[in-house]
Chain A
Amino acid sequence: MTDGLERASGNDVLIEVRGLDKAFGDLQVLRGIDLDVKRGEVVVIIGPSGSGKSTFLRCLNRLEDPSAGTVRIGGVEITGHGVNLPQMRSRVGMVFQQFNLFPHMTALENVMEGPRTVLRLSRGDAERRARALLDKVGLSEKAGSKPANLSGGQQQRVAIARALAMNPDAMLFDEVTSALDPELVGEVLTVMRELADEGMTMVIVTHEMSFAQRVADWVVFLDDGVIVEEGRPERIFHRARQERTRQFLDQLHWDAELA
């Protein structure tokens, strides 16, 4: 790569993936994935449906167990036996496509739940933290609402606040706008962009290509379980080297002018 679009240098790798394989029975979903995510970096993973993007993300916090390979977070290997999974997961936030808020709790209680149950914060401390985060995602006035009474966009912002309440080292976003009505996508992407600007380490699986181009430090194109190509967003989106990458981007009919 000599096009002046090199990745920011520095050795502060937060998430290091080596030789990651994942199979469900006979179905090989991921094959030999190597990837570094540096501290403060936003890595966006794009690719066709069924290419293994979500599975890859779920291997990073062990919601899926990799079949082979290693994942290190902050230098600590989290693959294999004997890993303290709850402790590891408390350092890595995750936001889901279907929000997955706890329906029996209010927005505030959802955000307080991690700090209370996992971090064992006092009620007062947890509530202060939760209210600050609801304010950050613009939902102070919805603190007492149950998820059923919130729009999809509001629910997803609460879900982001819930993950942030653990003060994670990194955040994983699994197609977090795919289940939203088009007019609600923007409010969620705005919150994510603010997070990125604050220096949060983020790994994002998304189909929002204009968002990816604006926010990503590094773009990974995944197809059929392998990394076909990775690079700076300008290069991937405008000067992809691989035919498969170009085909995928052309098919999306995404409009660069919207970016």
Chain B
Amino acid sequence: MGYQWHFEVVVESLDVLLGGLAWTVALSLLSMAASLLLGLVVSFARLSPWRPLRGVATVYTDFLRGTPLLVQILWVYYSLPILTGVVFSPFVSAAIALTLNLSAFVSEVYRAGILSIARAQREAALALGMTTWQAMRRVILPQSIRRVLPPLGSIWVSLFKDTAIVSVIAVPELMYRGKVLSIETYRPLEIYTAVALIYFIVTYPQARGVDWLFERARVRG
């Protein structure tokens, strides 16, 4: 093929792309942090002895895991304001949608981690006179953390790449800026290649880090 590569386009717009990367990182960090907390609440609800609470939490996780993330993002950005009268910026809407979506997956990881700590550990804590909450905080959760760290790492790596989807509501992150630049410069091949490489360069070490977490967990049992 006689295609003339013009990578100088990429060099010229690198600061714009890296500025987009900063938004991607910010959105990922914010959504992950929020979903780690929300997921904990949801997992406690799913483990609650109170049936109605458990039911609500189950519907919540099933629904968020059973609908496309793209639909959730568009719904939060375009539909939620009609319902509530409150309009959020694209960034905030994206963070809300990603947090809700992730919290469903994170809560499942937590739930599995908590359940994997044997009933015996809980009983030993209760027999000492601990409350259910103290047993959770002092005995169950510290042991669960080691088990949930690898799967949470996987979720993080997926999230980092999946944020590209929020370009549909014009959050000025890496993907959106790539899209705009490719139109402005008429150089989609160079620009999208550069965008892919930037995602890969940032994601790859993290993915390897997660592999290492899994390996360590496997060795230590």
Interface residues of A (CB under 8 A from B): 61, 63, 85-94, 96, 98, 100-104, 113-114, 117-118, 162-163, 166
Q: Nearest chain-A residue to B117 (Cβ)?
A: A103
Write out the residue numbers on chain B whose beta carbons fall within 8 Å of the beta carbon of A87. 129
Contact flag A118-B128 (CB < 8 Å), given A102-B139, A103-B143, A113-B138: yes
Most buried by A among B120, B123, B125, B128: B128
Interface residues of B (CB under 8 A from A): 120-121, 123-131, 134, 138-139, 142-143
Q: Nearest chain-B residue to A90 (Cβ)?
A: B129
Offer 7 A-B interface pairs, CB within 8 angstroms, sorted by A: A63-B123, A87-B129, A96-B127, A102-B125, A117-B128, A118-B134, A163-B128
| Nearest CB on B from A61, distance (A) | 6
Contact flag A113-B121 (CB < 8 Å), given A102-B139, A103-B143, A104-B143: no
B124 with A102: CB separation less than 8 A: yes
| Nearest CB on B from A168, distance (A) | 9
A89 with B120: CB separation less than 8 A: no
CA distance A113 to B138 in the complex (A): 9
A89 with B129: CB separation less than 8 A: yes
Contact flag A166-B143 (CB < 8 Å), given A117-B138, A118-B134: no
| Nearest CB on B from A59, distance (A) | 13
7 additional A-B residue pairs with CB within 8 Å, beyond A63-B127, A86-B129, A117-B138: A63-B123, A63-B126, A89-B128, A100-B120, A114-B128, A117-B134, A118-B129
Write out the residue numbers on chain A whose beta carbons fall within 8 Å of the beta carbon of B143. 102-104
CA distance A195 to B43 in the complex (A): 42
Write out the residue numbers on chain B whose beta carbons fall within 8 Å of the beta carbon of A102. 121, 124-125, 139, 143
CA distance A113 to B130 in the complex (A): 10
Contact of B128 among A98, A103, A104, A162 (CB under 8 A): A162
Write out the residue numbers on chain A whose beta carbons fall within 8 Å of the beta carbon of B139. 102
